[in-house]
Amino acid sequence: MNVYYMNGAGNDFMVMDARDDESRDFSRLAVELCKLANADGFMAVGKSETADFRLHFYNSDGTRGEMCGNGARCICLFAHDMGIAGAEMTVQTDAGIVPGWRIDENQYRVKLNNPGIMDLNRKGDIAYTELGNPGVPHAVVRYSGDLWGDADNLREEMRALRFDPAFPKGANVNFYQPLSQGEVRILTFERGVEDYTLACGTGTGSTAAVMWLRGELPGKVLTAHSRGGTLKITIGGETEVESILLEGPTEIVKVYEI
């Protein structure tokens, strides 16, 4: 069995084609395989009656996730390169159907699930959103300091927010530092990983949606620098968020024979 180690703007995943047997214990595999490369998550491709294929996504601790933005971009590259889907494809996720597009050999774009919940003031000025239904939960916080330079000092504050009762499902916590109009630095503390990750696609999309609704993103396009790479998010809609497009780099780094 081949397992592919993939990277999407710093988010890394162990990926396998499981269409021949979706009864495997994916939770156990996630824990075991992620340890091989200290990966953030595990993804398995399954069969689907409503899309080109199904995405089974698990965090490195074995918990199942509704969806993963950078994971979805990686799985689109995987499906294209393995002949499972063409340059345009649809992915069935627990949060809903996600369309994907191949831009070039390494650049892929996906349409994230629209917000099922959007609360700009869930806890004071901390916003809360869930992308999809059931949705991927995110807390979004504007930060005025040196975000990456302060990362070590912020870890416990972000960990506390991840478990805060204001977020009943637990939340991925995203701090963003504006750099210029339409450009930010972002730092995400992810549930299931229980630490910082180098990038978070749904977190970046949630941040862009919150910024636009707050009037901080008039051009509707956000360039988000994570510590693992740069992502581009485009918001669609006039008075509410009608689409969130996420674009960035993907690659297959290594193949493991298990």
Would you name the residues annotated as active-site residues?
Answer: 68, 200
| Residue position matching structure tokens 């360039």 | 223
Could you give the CA distance from residue 224 to residue 9 in angstroms, rounded to a whole number? 11
Closest CA to 36 of 6, 56, 66, 10: 6
Could you give the CA distance from residue 144 to residue 148 in angstroms, rounded to a whole number? 11
Structure tokens at 53: 């294929």
Q: Which residues of 72-101 are buried (b: 16+ CB within 10 A; e: fewer)?
A: bbbbbbbbbeeebbeeebbbbbbbbebbbb
Could you give the CA distance from residue 87 to residue 175 in angstroms, rounded to a whole number? 33
